[in-house]
Amino acid sequence: MKKTTYMLTLIAFLAITTACQNNNKKDQTSSKSETITSFEFEKEITITGTLQNLDYENLAGEKLSTFILELENEINVDSKNPEFKSQKNIKEIQVGFSDDVKDASKYLKKSITIKGFIYPEQTVHDRRPVVMINATITK
């Protein structure tokens, strides 16, 4: 009887220890993935994502097109300007390339790193809450 009790206690101890270790690993993984980088409006940033094209119509019915960068990781963008609202959990930003970028469409559906200044949406042409202007491709 003593041997059986000892074995059951040992098995229970090992099961609890293993479960606790697995929970700790899950907690560490989820805390890493929950870390979101924060930026500030009206500042220059460098960011990586997949370039996409977005077709849309303006108020006059004209067909227009713009670039969207689908981000590898969500970002937050803080605003120190009371006229602009901070943005949380941003997954995409609209991109306006500088004149130095001759043919951005060759990067469509590819992962690229770009650098430029970010601003909140301000015009009817802005299709995302965060817009990068004068963007250049760094990688």
Q: Tens digit of pLDDT for each residue in 110-131? A: 999 999 999 999 988 899 999 9
Query: Is 126 in contact with 83 (CB distance < 8 Å)?
Result: no
Q: What band does 73 get if pLDDT is binned at 50, 70 and 90?
A: very high
Exposure letters 23-51 (e unless 16+ CB within 10 A, then b): eeeeeeeeeeeeeeeebebeeebebebbb
Report the pLDDT value the prediction gives residue 2, as an integer from 0 to 100: 52
Q: Can you name the CATH fold of 37-137?
A: OB fold (Dihydrolipoamide Acetyltransferase, E2P) (2.40.50)
- For the chain, give every domain's residue range: 1-34, 37-137
pTM of the model: 0.73
Residues 122, 135: Cα–Cα separation, whole Å: 17
Report the pLDDT value the prediction gives residue 20, as an integer from 0 to 100: 44
Query: Is 120 in contact with 42 (CB distance < 8 Å)?
Result: no
Beta bridge partners of 49: 71, 112
